[in-house]
Amino acid sequence: MVNYQPAPLDRVFGALADPTRRALLQRLEAEAALSVTELARPLPISLPAVMKHLDVLEGAGLIARRKQGRTVTCRLTAAPMEDAMAWLARYQRFWGESLDRLAQFVEDAPK
């Protein structure tokens, strides 16, 4: 029933589970292409740490990197997010669910 092979969705959701990686994607949403140095500049972490985060994002297919001489440029490749969003969309009918009904489920002690 459950597929234990590393699935693309595991990698996408896993990549998005970190605030630094989400911040990197947000930078690349605002600007079409940025060098690793430009991406790292505002972050309070080391360049190797930034590069590890970029490895995770690339592993999930969320960014592409291109080498130009000594500069590595990154670009957003957001297509894998579509499957993640499709997965979440199945649960949309539950979002409007009454909080009262939920509180009742959690708190009601059986007689």
Cβ contact 20:91 at 8 Å:
no
Q: Is 88 in the site for its own copies (CB under 8 A)?
A: yes
Among 36, 43, 51, 72, binds its own copies (CB under 8 A): 43
**Pair 84, 16: CB distance under 8 Å:** yes
Give the chain's largest Cα–Cα span: 73
Place of tokens 């079409």: 32
Q: Which is nearer to its own copies, 48 or 69 (CB)?
A: 69
Task: Write the DSSP string, 59-93.
Answer: HTTSEEEEEETTEEEEEE--THHHHHHHHHHTTHH
39 makes contact with its own copies (CB under 8 A): no
* Binding-site member from 36, 51, 64, 72 for its own copies (CB under 8 A): 64
Positions in the binding site for its own copies (CB under 8 A):
1-4, 7, 9-11, 13-14, 16-20, 22-23, 25, 29, 33, 42-44, 64-66, 68-69, 75-79, 81-82, 84-85, 87-92, 94-95, 97, 102, 105-106, 108, 110
